[in-house]
Chain A
Amino acid sequence: MDDLLQEFIAETRETLDALSGEIVLWEANPTDRTRLDAIFRFVHTVKGSCGFLDLPRLGRLAHAAEDVLAAVREGTRAPDTALVNAVLAIVDRIGELTEAIAAGSPLDDTTEDLLIAALAEDALPVAPASAGPQTRIASRSVRLAVDLLDRMMAGMSDMVLARNELARRLRDQPIDPRVEGALERLSLTVGEMRDTISRTRMQRIEALFSAMPRMVRDTATPLGKLVTLDVEGADVELDREMIELLRDPLVHIIRNAVDHGIEPPALRHALGKREAGRLLVSARQTGNQIVLEVSDDGRGIDVDRLVAKAAAAGLHSEAKLAAMTERQRLELIFAPGLSSRDTATAISGRGVGMDVVRANIEQIGGRIALRNRPGAGLTIELQVPLTLSIIPAIVVGVGEQRFALPRQSIEEIVAIRGDAVRVDDLGDSRIATVRGRRLPLVDLASLLGIDGGRTQALAIVGTRDGNFALGIGAVLDSEELVVKPVCPAVMGTGIYAGQTLPDSGLPMLLLDGAGVAAAAGLRFTPKAIVDENEAAAQERGIDALLFDDLDGRRRALPLAAVDRVETVSATAIQRTGGRLHLSIEGGVVPLVTRAEPPTTGQVTLLRLTDGVTEIGYPIRDAHEIVTLPVAMAPVRDRPGIAGVAVVNGEQVEVVDGHALFAGELAPPVVRPLCLLHHDGTGWMETFLRPVLEASGYRCASTLAPGETAAVTLAMDDDPPAASANGDPVVLLRSRPAMPGEAGIYRYDRAALIAAVAAEMQSHDDMRREMAR
């Protein structure tokens, strides 16, 4: 809650600073509608925030001021000097209270009743409160203009490209190890820097969602309502600024849903609904848009009443209202000062939220859409752009060209030649059957008119309306991309969601799954609305992938651990360092297997991840995704098997994901440096270096300026000259030592590693001793 409070304080301070000018102008001309609206929005927002931050004093002040300003907006009260002064006194008081909260100092509330009383129509004029000395405490964070972050980001991208080019040029010729070392360090720094800078702009939408359960509860309880809240997609990342801008609209929408949408339990019971209303808040990414949906199963909007109110308020003429489409009528909810509810409440007010919500969303280039189901609920959909956001993407090749697909929109990628996939012609269209599931097939090469593109794999792309299989040439890479909007002429094609400049330095287009489906003429029948009420109440087992293991047994593995299913060449799997490794994407991934994998042909592989470590699990064939029953039979003496479950009447061993990863250690973050003292034979470089690197050390044959070695390794017949300063040295012998002789036999691997570790340790201890 502390973070939220800090944000509230920062935001209120900022708005107050901006508002001070407006206030003076309003004072000069109380009939100025725009100024009035600005001040009204401010107090309304403060009231809203106070509700869920539990700041009743501020809330009371803001509510009182809002009431009066609403009356002015509706024209029932004239904005005379007394009223203006009273409102300004309250705005000042809000500022003082905010500072008091920030400083954690008490502020007496004796005058607040007077301030509120002064708002009454018959109140005696009061002198405007003079702002007392305000003590501001230093803030712990810095607020930066996003523009500055943009420039940093652009500079960073330039730096990455320059680094790539430098690396490319250097690779063309023999390279001095010192230069290589320096380049490596540069690369590392640039990479870390890029991550940091990217992070300065990105935030998980969780930051927005985490306050929701409390807010829903606090809104529902005083109203005597029961609400179950479901939140989906909290891990969607978007621009920090976007999150800030979405906070208020979302709060308004949720409060409205609880207050106006969901009926009291008794009424719901009488209507045959579950007593607890259901509120679903979800976030997902589609192309370069983030879609936020707030969906309730309450009463929906009564459009007829809305129209009647619009007519009564004189917003539009009767004739114009009569000529409106259903959609336009529904959108009257966004008209300023109009609400479908007759009485104002402390919770969400008079529907005023909706005009503010729309203004805020449109300001950031977003859209708001309503799906009204009278009597059955309302879904409000917010679409906001994702400009300059980083999205995980899969790079696919079609012919000579490369395209990116948002990872989130891809369910899976399957190779066409496998048994699990078949492609049929159905009339003039094609259909793919993937593990018994029929999907319309769109061939990317022919859709885009690219020659020479052989379709070798299918990406199962999920869109809002349905899924389809996209025929692609190959999966080339998986990358985090900074996506920017494309120019209107390219946007007009409808199939691209943005453009990006990956590390290759060649621009790439991001495909929009829904746009591709539309361009290919796919028509999805709307999904039936499933009544999830009952299903949600029932406990569900976890989803798991069913597969045939290499030993022929059928097993299941929790789906959450499976990153993707891939086909790799058997030659990429090698027994190195005493275990199986797979070389892929320029790195090595350790493999866990129950049987020896085939040595020729192709191997199907599950890429597993626990979020930190990655391992591979070769299998014979992947089958389907199943939901495991909650009950599982325990097993005995079967390491790596969590239990036996019955799936489709068949016994299936469930692989213990924990055991798979328990055997894997994440690479150490800090790798101490070993200086290899050259003996001129190259033995150190060829034989010793890999051993040390495998044990988690870095190796170098010369030190870069300013670098110190944690330990120096040298042959005993050629000890390093500079060891006098007490740097730890491990001397190696060419022959096994006779009793009494010092040094370590260079092929005694265990002793060697132990000696390096011991030297490093004792040296550390010594340094600490000396520092004391």
Chain B
Amino acid sequence: MSELFLIAHLAGRWVAVAASQVDSAVDIGEVVAVPCAPPAVRGLAALRSRVVTVIDTQVALGREPARAARRAIIAAIDGHHYAFLVDAFEDVFPFERTSLSSGLALDGRWAAAANGVVERDGEPLLVLDLTALVPAGTVIDDQALAA
């Protein structure tokens, strides 16, 4: 069965993102830095009346920070809205998702974020799971808080 995927360019390659995860794909405005936050958090940006957390996808995938922060895929994950920076995006297309071929050795961060492969005109594209790119918050210790 085919699913819809948004094709985006990030970290120097084309990837597919399940359209069910995507809220919208937009250009975001000025990004306000969040001091002390994990490096993958680029900052906060306003999207209409909503504040979104901007995730530098390149950093989340263990690479150099992206230069510009403009294009982004907006997704709601666990009740919070995130903007995942991308270099460019194409349209949404239907593809068949197949599991990662065995023996394929992905680097650690990519391995955690990839959950399948789609084929576009004979070219295989990794399916990126956006939720895996969201940096985890430090677990707050209830005992410590209560003490």
Residues in A lying within 8 Å of B, measured CB to CB: 154-155, 157-158, 160-161, 327, 367, 369, 401, 448-450, 484-496, 499-501, 505-509, 519
Contacts and interface: CB of A to CB of B under 8 A. Distances in A.
Given A327-B146, A491-B137, A506-B30, 10 more contacts: A487-B53, A487-B82, A488-B136, A489-B137, A493-B36, A495-B36, A499-B44, A505-B29, A507-B32, A507-B44
B135 interface: yes
B126 interface: no
Interface string B125-136: 000000000111
Contact of B37 (A490, A505, A508): A490
Interface in B39-79: 40-41, 44-46, 48-51, 53, 78
A489 B30 CA distance: 20
Nearest to B142: A367
Contacts of B45: 507
B51 A501 contact: yes
B53 A490 contact: yes
Contacts of B135: 489
Given A158-B49, A507-B44, A488 B80 contact: yes
Given A158-B49, A369-B146, A488-B137, A493 B32 contact: no
A486 B53 contact: yes
B80 A487 contact: yes
A709 to B, nearest CB: 37
A501 B47 CA distance: 10
B33 interface: yes
Interface in B68-123: 78, 80, 82
A449 B35 CA distance: 7
A507 B78 CA distance: 20
Contacts of B137: 487-492
Contacts of A158: 48-49
Contacts of B80: 485-488
A491 B40 CA distance: 14
24 contacts: A155-B49, A160-B49, A161-B48, A327-B146, A401-B35, A450-B35, A487-B82, A487-B137, A488-B78, A489-B37, A489-B53, A489-B136, A489-B137, A490-B41, A490-B53, A491-B137, A492-B38, A493-B34, A493-B138, A494-B140, A507-B44, A507-B51, A508-B32, A509-B34
Given A449-B35, A488-B78, A490-B37, A509 B44 contact: yes
Contacts of B49: 154-155, 157-158, 160-161, 501
A486 B53 CA distance: 8
B32 A492 contact: no
Contacts of A369: 146
Contacts of B41: 489-490
A743 B32 CA distance: 61
A488 B40 CA distance: 13
Contacts of A492: 37-38, 136-138, 140
Given A488-B80, A492-B137, A494-B138, A507 B36 contact: no
Most buried by A among B29, B37, B138, B146: B37
A499 B51 contact: yes
Contacts of B146: 327, 367, 369
Nearest to B38: A489
Contacts of B50: 154, 501
Most buried by B among A154, A327, A401, A486: A486
B16 to A, nearest CB: 24
Contact of B46 (A327, A496, A505): A505
B46 to A, nearest CB: 5
Contacts of B134: 487-489
B82 A448 contact: no
Contacts of A160: 49
Q: How large is the interface on B (under 10, 10 to 19, 20 to 34, 35 or more residues)?
A: 20 to 34
Contacts of A495: 36
A492 B134 CA distance: 13
B36 A401 contact: no
Nearest to A493: B36
Query: What 8 A-B pairs come out closest when comparing CB atoms?
Result: A488-B137, A492-B137, A448-B35, A157-B49, A492-B138, A507-B44, A487-B80, A489-B135
Nearest to B53: A487
A519 B140 CA distance: 14
Contacts of A500: 51
Contact of B36 (A154, A505, A519): A519
B46 A501 contact: yes
A401 B136 contact: no
Contacts of A506: 30, 32, 46
B64 to A, nearest CB: 20
A393 to B, nearest CB: 15
Most buried by A among B78, B134, B138: B138
B33 A401 contact: yes
A369 B146 CA distance: 7
Nearest to B52: A507
Contacts of A367: 146
Nearest to A491: B137
Contacts of A154: 49-50
A488 B135 CA distance: 8
A152 to B, nearest CB: 12
A324 B12 CA distance: 55
A448 to B, nearest CB: 4
A500 B35 CA distance: 16
Most buried by B among A327, A450, A490, A499: A490
A727 B142 CA distance: 72
A449 B32 contact: no
Nearest to B41: A489
A471 B128 CA distance: 43
A494 B146 CA distance: 15
Contacts of B29: 505
Given A489-B134, A489-B137, A448 B51 contact: no
Nearest to A448: B35
Interface string B5-31: 000000000000000000000000110
A333 to B, nearest CB: 15
A18 to B, nearest CB: 25
A514 to B, nearest CB: 10
Contacts of A486: 53, 80
A62 B36 CA distance: 55
A154 B46 CA distance: 13
B36 A448 contact: yes
A500 B40 CA distance: 21
Nearest to B138: A492
A499 B41 CA distance: 14
B32 to A, nearest CB: 5
Most buried by B among A491, A492, A494: A492
A450 B43 CA distance: 14
Contacts of A489: 37-38, 40-41, 53, 134-137
A157 B135 CA distance: 28
A494 B34 CA distance: 12
A157 B47 CA distance: 11
Contacts of B48: 158, 161
Contacts of B40: 489
A84 to B, nearest CB: 40
Contacts of A490: 34, 37, 41, 53, 137
A496 B33 CA distance: 13
Nearest to B55: A489
Most buried by B among A158, A450, A484, A493: A493
A496 B41 CA distance: 14
Contacts of B38: 489, 492
A495 B35 CA distance: 10
A484 B37 contact: no
B143 to A, nearest CB: 8
Nearest to A159: B49
